[in-house]
């Protein structure tokens, strides 16, 4: 596990947990987050805390004492949440409670200006919260795929030194119609949106890929988490 020393205050980063139907160590259903994701936040100087998804929560109270929010990857969103009646055959792991918690948390964080980093499913959640839609099943899936992503603008907002990154992807959905105030700033070679900036009172960005996959060895991916932590410190 990363052990980088940070003498500064560690901002607390709320990471919405993901439901798992089976985990070997816990025997029954569990609440999880990717170890690499949490370690990347810690290595960047933050203190990640997994939150239980619950519906109808008072998010102002739940996020009191937190300095940032990370919306992680996970299963698919119910298409009804972005206005589609039909569900594609390959849509998987839809969970009403997970959707409710993610949507409510994202909506509050955006309105309150809490620094927000959205990853993969997290990007989809924020886009849908802002009225956007998704491609339910890409013609060519981006699973177990590492490819180049080039920003056409605003890469500095992500903490990146340059406009090009090598991105580790695992997804079969993507943004279709961008929501209100969702500025697509990077795409893959096949045109799939890969990064977005969300308009609002605080720092809020999203990436389609999984920066945690390679953050331990790729400074550009680590920089995304460092920027989240930096923004969280600024707001604390």
Number of Cβ within 10 Å of residue 19's Cβ equals 17
Task: Single out the catalytic residue among 124, 155, 194, 212.
Answer: 212
Task: Single out the catalytic residue among 104, 120, 124, 155.
Answer: 120
Tokens describing residue 201:
């009172």
Whole-angstrom distance, CA of residue 145 vs CA of residue 216: 18
Q: Is 210 noted as a catalytic residue in this protein? A: yes
The single residue listed with the structure tokens 């700033």 is: 185
Task: Single out the catalytic residue among 142, 155, 172, 210.
Answer: 210
Percent helix, percent strand, percent coil in the chain, to nearest 5:
30, 25, 45
CB 204 within 8 A of CB 126: yes
Q: Is 64 noted as a catalytic residue in this protein? A: no
Q: Is 120 noted as a catalytic residue in this protein? A: yes
Whole-angstrom distance, CA of residue 69 vs CA of residue 181: 19
CB 8 within 8 A of CB 227: no
Whole-angstrom distance, CA of residue 121 vs CA of residue 209: 10
- The CA radius of gyration of the chain, in Å to the nearest whole number, is 17
Catalytic positions are: 120, 210, 212
């Amino acid at each position: 596990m990363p052990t980088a020393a940070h003498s500064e205050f560690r901002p607390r980063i709320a990471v919405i947990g993901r439901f798992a139907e089976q985990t070997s160590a816990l025997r029954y259903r569990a609440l999880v987050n990717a170890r690499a994701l949490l370690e990347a936040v810690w290595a960047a100087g933050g203190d990640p805390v997994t939150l239980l998804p619950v519906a109808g929560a008072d998010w102002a109270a739940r996020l009191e004492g937190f300095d940032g929010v990370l919306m992680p990857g996970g299963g698919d969103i119910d298409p009804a949440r972005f206005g589609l009646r039909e569900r594609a055959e390959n849509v998987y792991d839809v969970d009403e409670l997970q959707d409710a918690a993610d949507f409510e948390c994202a909506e509050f964080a955006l309105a309150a200006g809490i620094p927000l980093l959205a990853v993969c499913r997290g990007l989809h959640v924020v886009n849908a919260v802002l009225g956007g839609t998704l491609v339910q099943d890409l013609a060519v899936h981006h699973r177990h795929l590492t490819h180049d992503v080039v920003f056409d603008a605003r890469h500095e907002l992500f903490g990146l030194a340059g406009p090009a990154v090598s991105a580790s992807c695992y997804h079969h959905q993507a943004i279709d119609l961008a929501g209100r105030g969702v500025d697509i700033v990077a795409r893959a070679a096949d045109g799939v949106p890969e990064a977005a900036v969300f308009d609002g009172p605080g720092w809020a960005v999203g990436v389609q890929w999984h920066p945690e996959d390679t953050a331990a060895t790729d400074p550009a991916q680590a920089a995304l988490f460092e920027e989240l932590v930096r923004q969280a410190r600024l707001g604390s």
